[in-house]
Amino acid sequence: MYVYWFETTHQNIKTVEIPSKRRTLATYATQEKSPIMATTPSPPSMLPSVNSGRIRTLKEGSGKTGPVVYWMFRDQRLKDNWALIHAVHQANKAKVPVAVVFNLFDHFLGAKARHLGFMLKGLRQLCHQLQHSLHIPFFLVRGEAEETVSKFVRECGASLLVTDMSPLREVKKCKAEICERVSDLVTVHEVDAHNVVPLWVASEKLEYSARTIRGKINKKLSDYLVDFPDVEPPNTKWVITEDHVIDWDDIIAQVLRSGSEVPEVDWCEPGEIAAMEVLMGSKNGFLTKRLRNYSTDRNNPCKPTALSGLSPYLHFGQISAQRCALEARKLRASYPQAVDTFLEELIVRRELADNFCYYQPHYDSIQGAWEWARKTLLDHASDKRQHVYTREQLEKAKTADPLWNASQLEMVHYGKMHGFMRMYWAKKILEWTRGPEEALEICIYLNDKYEMDGRDPSGYNGCMWSICGVHDQGIV
């Protein structure tokens, strides 16, 4: 196996044989600089940096000369990505290479073809964009991230691992284990590239409702709702071994077969370009063509085009909520009510959901409800029900309620239930099952299985709100 790189001064190709024990996909050359990356690297003081409040150090390491690895998980995009900006900034400061690694879990909370197909097709575009516009390599590994990412970091001798932020317990646990597995040389940074105001900056505790977090977020918007710098090209080349080839067609075909019970939908095209078209497109973009009716029509299930259509892209991180907010804010003078309503949903409500899942370990259980809500639910758990349905009956929309059935089938076939119907849908499940625990389990199961934005903090928050009264005010 051979590794190739360019020398900075002579621009000739050298060939070096790597000892067999070092023949890994992550092999790189630390001493050589690539002339095709940046003809005149920016001095460190001029490199685009990230507000330090967005960054948390999960682990301090002593290494200084190894490369930087960005483990991408939640924010799957090149543009407007604070985690990527930070990773490249740190690499250029240290004059070391940088690469992006993405772990494809064998199983992640029941994701099906609908979700994985959309995600992988977006990642295929992202891989091409990273390599051709910035010459940053993209590695796809498969398995459990605590094993694959740790191995990748170890084999390439990284000194810094950058990752984006997710409040879900599985991801938090995975990061903690990675920090345990990597060597003492490795520093681990977590960057909140998903929220406008970083989760830990907005609040250091579990918030009761939108009312209690709104003011905290608004006070910080001037510091964090700022425009993005461009990602600087790396000034040191990461050399990729010749056998690192991602067969996207084969991988996508595999996940489409294995998750075929929930097929793909055709109303949302994956990727960053498609996401920006939904937001700003000249034909039917949300901000360019549909924003004016948002505040008046968004709660009308008969007018689905009044909604933004951005939820799949926000969930998979194919578009930045901050970019959406920046572009919407430019239109406030023309449509003040619509813009304010949109920003409330985009920033306050989404970040409240992240807050709930991060600070409430039981975010998908009755234990995560407030005490008054738990008591009420348990007191009425044995109430007589007019109808009791099984999960299978509910999944197949076999109830006596035509409106509920229509909403369920919309989700099953379309991958998106109208937002106004979600609370009605969930509350009827509570009415039609044997108790709140079963109702919540079924609600989360159906939401995660069929919704394009399933397995998301907003989904868990919505189910808990509808069934357990989370973010409601208890009445004495």
Q: Which residue has the higher pLDDT, 338 or 472?
A: 338
pLDDT value of position 140:
96
Mean pLDDT along residues 234-263: 87
Q: Which residues contact 21 (CB under 8 A, 6 or more apart)?
A: none
292 in any annotated domain: yes
C-alpha span between 216 and 208 (Å, rounded): 13
pLDDT value of position 110:
74
Least confident of 98-112, 384-398, 438-452: 98-112
Q: Which residue has the higher pLDDT, 32 or 263?
A: 263
Q: Clarify whether residues 175 and 97 are in a common domain.
A: yes
Q: Clarify whether residues 69 and 166 are in a common domain.
A: yes
Mean pLDDT along residues 233-245: 78
Q: Clarify whether residues 221 and 342 are in a common domain.
A: yes
Q: Clarify whether residues 334 and 400 are in a common domain.
A: no
127 in any annotated domain: yes
pLDDT value of position 240:
58
Q: Clarify whether residues 53 and 183 are in a common domain.
A: yes
Q: Taking a C-beta distance cutoff of 8 angstroms, is the pair 248, 124 a contact?
A: yes
What would the pLDDT profile of 265-285 be if each residue is shown by its tens digit? 999 999 999 999 999 999 999
Cα dihedral 248, 254, 258, 263 in deg (nearest 10)? 50
Q: Which residues contact 247 (CB under 8 A, 6 or more apart)?
A: none
C-alpha span between 189 and 60 (Å, rounded): 9
The residue assigned the tokens 């009956």 is 393
How much of the chain, in percent, has pLDDT values that exceed 70?
Answer: 88
Q: Taking a C-beta distance cutoff of 8 angstroms, is the pair 426, 89 a contact?
A: no
Question: Total domain count for the chain?
Answer: 3
Mean pLDDT along residues 298-319: 97
Q: Clarify whether residues 146 and 173 are in a common domain.
A: yes
Mean pLDDT along residues 443-449: 97
Instruction: Give the CATH number for residue 354.
Output: 1.25.40.80
264 in any annotated domain: no
Residue type, 416: K
pTM above 0.85, yes or no: yes
132: how many CB neighbours lie within 10 A of its CB?
9
C-alpha span between 64 and 61 (Å, rounded): 8
Q: Clarify whether residues 337 and 372 are in a common domain.
A: no
Sort residue 349 into left (φ over 0), alpha (ψ -120 to 50) or beta: alpha
Q: Clarify whether residues 430 and 335 are in a common domain.
A: no
β-sheet bridge partners, residue 98: 68
How much of the chain, in percent, has pLDDT values that exceed 90?
Answer: 84
C-alpha span between 411 and 267 (Å, rounded): 13
Q: Clarify whether residues 223 and 164 are in a common domain.
A: no
Q: Which residues contact 7 (CB under 8 A, 6 or more apart)?
A: 14, 32, 33
C-alpha span between 155 and 99 (Å, rounded): 13
What is the number of alpha carbons within 13 Å of residue 118 lying toward its C-beta?
30
What would the pLDDT profile of 20-65 be if each residue is shown by its tens digit? 333 344 443 333 333 223 323 334 444 557 999 999 999 999 988 9
CA 260 to chain centre: 23
258 in any annotated domain: no
Query: The domain containing residue 279 runs over which residues?
Result: 201-228+269-308+320-359
List Cα–Cα distances, 81 to 42, 120, 302, 454, in angstroms.
20, 18, 35, 22
Instruction: Give the CATH number for residue 100.
Output: 3.40.50.620
Q: Clarify whether residues 96 and 223 are in a common domain.
A: no
Whole-number mean pLDDT of the chain?
Answer: 89
Q: Clarify whether residues 70 and 132 are in a common domain.
A: yes
Q: Taking a C-beta distance cutoff of 8 angstroms, is the pair 472, 373 a contact?
A: yes
CA 115 to chain centre: 12
Instruction: Give the CATH number for residue 456.
Output: 1.10.579.10
Q: Clarify whether residues 429 and 298 are in a common domain.
A: no
Over 70: is that where the pLDDT of 445 sits?
Answer: yes
Q: How many residues does the chain have?
A: 476
Residue 64 has which token pair? 């200084």
Q: Taking a C-beta distance cutoff of 8 angstroms, is the pair 112, 261 a contact?
A: yes
